[in-house]
Amino acid sequence: MNRGEQLAVLSGAAAEQWGLVTAAQAKRLGLNAVQLLRLTEAGLTENVSRGVYLVTAAGMPTGLEAKAAWLRLQPKEFAWDRPAGHPDSGVLSHATACQLHELGDIPAPEVDITVPRRRTTTEPFVRLRTAALDKQEITIVDGLPTTTVDRTITDLLRAKADGGHVGRAIADAERRGMISLDDLAEAVSPYNRRYGLSAAADGRDLIEHLVSQAGQSLLRHDMDRASQQGFNEAVNRMQAHVAKNISALQEHVLPRTGLYAGLDEALAQVATNYTSLAQTMQEIARTPPRLDELLQRMSQTPPALTEFFSNLAAPAHPFESRFRSASALQQYSSLPPATRSALERAAAAGASRRGPGAAAHPGADQEPAAGPDEPHHPDEDEDEDEDEDETRKQPEQ
C-alpha cells in the first residue's frame, strides 16, 4: 500500500473512534510500526498517547485523555465491538464522568474507569476502580460508556469527594433536569454521617447541605422564592392600584355628584329593604290555617253528592231490573199503561211475599203475570220452556 492507501485505511477506522486509532488496531488493518512512524513524520497522524494515534484531518476531539485511556484497555478491539457492560470493557466514572456530563467544576487529574473485575495498569494518569455496575447505571456520553448522573454522585460520596464540588454537580444536574431529587435522596442517605450530619437526617438534608456548601441553590427553591416574591409584588401593586382608585373616587367623583354624603344612608336603606323582603318571603312561604282547612274540605266528597251518585247507579224501578236487554225494555215500554200498572202491582206483591231483599233484586226465574190485554209472543214461550228445562236439570247436577 502506498501512503494514500495507508491513510485511507486508518481514516476509515478512526472515523468511528473520534479520529483515534491504536497501534494494535493499525496492525490489524495491515500497517506496521514503520508505516505509522512515516505517516506521523509526514504530519498525517499524531501520537497523542502511548500507542494511540490521531488522524490529523479529523481534528482534536474533546475529552482526549479519557477516550485514549478507554481505547488502551482493549487496544486490539475497535469501539464498535466493545458493548457497554462487557467484562473486559471499562466504564468512565467518578470525576471523569462529571466532566463528561459537564457537571460542576470538580477537578479530574486522573481518568477514572470502573471495571467489573480487578485489573492493573501502568498508565500514570489512569485509575481503575473495581465495582459491579447494572445496565441501568450505564449510559453513553459522546460514544463512551459512562455512569449515570445518580451513580456518579453516589460514587463521589462513597469516595469522600469534596462536599462543595459534589454540591455544585447536584445543583447543575437538578437545574438541567438530569436527576430526580426524591430518587437521589434515597440513594445518598447512607452517607449522611460522612459529611457531618446527624443520624436523624435524611437524604434531602444531605443534598441541601452539599448544595449550600457549594454556594448554590436548587432550582426548585429558586422557583419557590421567585413565585412567592412575584405573588407579593402582584398583591402590593393591586393594593396600591385599589387604594389609588378609592382615593380618586373620594376626592373627585363623589363630592361632585353629591353621593358621598348620602352613601351611608343609601347603604342602610338597602339593608332595611333587604330585611323586609326576606320577612315577606318567609310569610308567603307559610300557608294560612284557613287555607289548609279549605283545601282539606275540598278534598272530601260531600255525603249528599255520594248519595246522588248512588241513586244514579241504582235501577229506576225494581220491576225494570227484570229486563236485561234493550229490546225487552222497549217492549215493556210499548205496553198500555193499564197493563204496565197491573204488572208492577203483581211484581210488588211477589216481592212483599219473598221479603225486602228480594224486592230490590227479583230472581231471574220470576215472570210477571200476563194481563188480559197482553199479546202472545211465541219467542217468549220458547224462553220459558228453556228456563223450565234448566230448572229441572239443576237438581241432577
| 87 and 205 inside one domain | yes
Q: In this structure, are 106 and 222 located in the same domain?
A: no
Residues 102 and 188 in one domain: yes
Instruction: Tell whether 147 is covered by a domain.
Output: yes
Average pLDDT over residues 116-121: 84
- Do 143 and 186 sit in the same domain of this protein? yes
For residues 30 and 142, membership in a common domain is answered with no
- 3 state DSSP class of 1: coil
Query: Are 55 and 164 part of one and the same domain?
Result: no
| Signed CA dihedral, 353, 356, 357, 363: sign only | positive
Tell me, yes or no, whether 229 and 207 share the same domain: no
Q: Is there a single domain that holds both residue 103 and residue 199?
A: yes
Question: What average pLDDT score do residues 113-131 get?
Answer: 88
pLDDT band at 365, cuts 50/70/90? very low
Residue 86 has pLDDT above 90, yes or no: no
Sheet holding 111-115, edge to edge: 126-130, 111-115, 91-92, 144-147, 138-141
Please check whether residue 270 lies inside any domain of the structure.
Answer: no
| Sign (positive or negative) of CA dihedral 113, 84, 100, 65 | positive
- pLDDT given at position 305: 56
Q: Which residue has the higher pLDDT, 128 or 352?
A: 128
185: CB partners within 8 A, 6+ apart: 202, 203, 204, 206, 207
Picking from 260, 286, 316, the residue at the C-terminal end of a domain is: 260
Interval 281-319: pLDDT, tens: 556 555 556 666 666 666 665 666 566 556 555 554 554
Host domain of residue 25: 1-62
pLDDT above 90 covers a percentage of the chain that reads: 34
76 touches 54 (CB < 8 A): no
| pLDDT band for position 361 (cuts 50, 70, 90) | very low
3-class DSSP state of 62: coil
The answer to whether the CB of 285 falls within 8 A of the CB of 314 is no
138, 178: one domain: yes
Q: Give residues with Cβ within 8 angstroms of 276, minimum separation 6.
A: none
Percent of the chain whose predicted confidence (pLDDT) is above 70: 55
Residue 134 contacts residue 116 (beta carbons within 8 Å): no
pLDDT computed for residue 196 by the predictor:
87
Number of domains in the chain: 3
Span 230-240, mean pLDDT? Answer: 64
Q: Answer yes or no: do 210 and 157 share one domain.
A: yes
CA distances from 77 to 7, 82, 132, 390 (A): 19, 7, 22, 125
Q: In this structure, is residue 182 part of a structural domain?
A: yes
Q: Is residue 364 part of a domain?
A: no
What average pLDDT does the structure give for the chain? 75
Model confidence at 123, pLDDT cuts 50, 70, 90, reads confident
332-346 mean pLDDT: 69
- Candidates 24, 34, 26; CA nearest to 10 is 26
What grid cell was written down for 250? Answer: 373620594
Report d(CA 214, CA 269) in Å as an integer: 67
What's the pLDDT band for 129 if we cut at 50, 70, 90? very high
Grade residue 381 by pLDDT with cuts at 50, 70 and 90. Answer: very low
pLDDT above 60: residue 251? yes
CA 389 to chain centroid, in Å, comes to 88
Does some domain include residue 304?
no
Model pLDDT, residue 391: 43
212 and 223 assigned to the same domain: no
Mean pLDDT across the stretch 222-246?
61
* Whole-prediction pTM: 0.56
Please check the confidence at residue 46 and state whether its pLDDT lies above 60: yes
3-state secondary structure of 375: coil
In a domain, 345, yes or no: no
Whether 5 maps to a domain, the answer reads yes
Q: Summarize the confidence of residues 92-108 as an average pLDDT.
A: 93
pLDDT of the residue at 82: 85
- Whether residue 387 lies inside any domain: the answer is no
Per-residue confidence (pLDDT) for residue 113, from 0 to 100: 94
Which residue would you say has higher pLDDT here, 301 or 133?
133
Which residues fall within 8 angstroms of residue 98, CB to CB, at 6 or more apart? Answer: 104, 106, 108, 152, 156, 169
**Residue 168 and residue 49 share a domain:** no
- pLDDT at site 64: 92
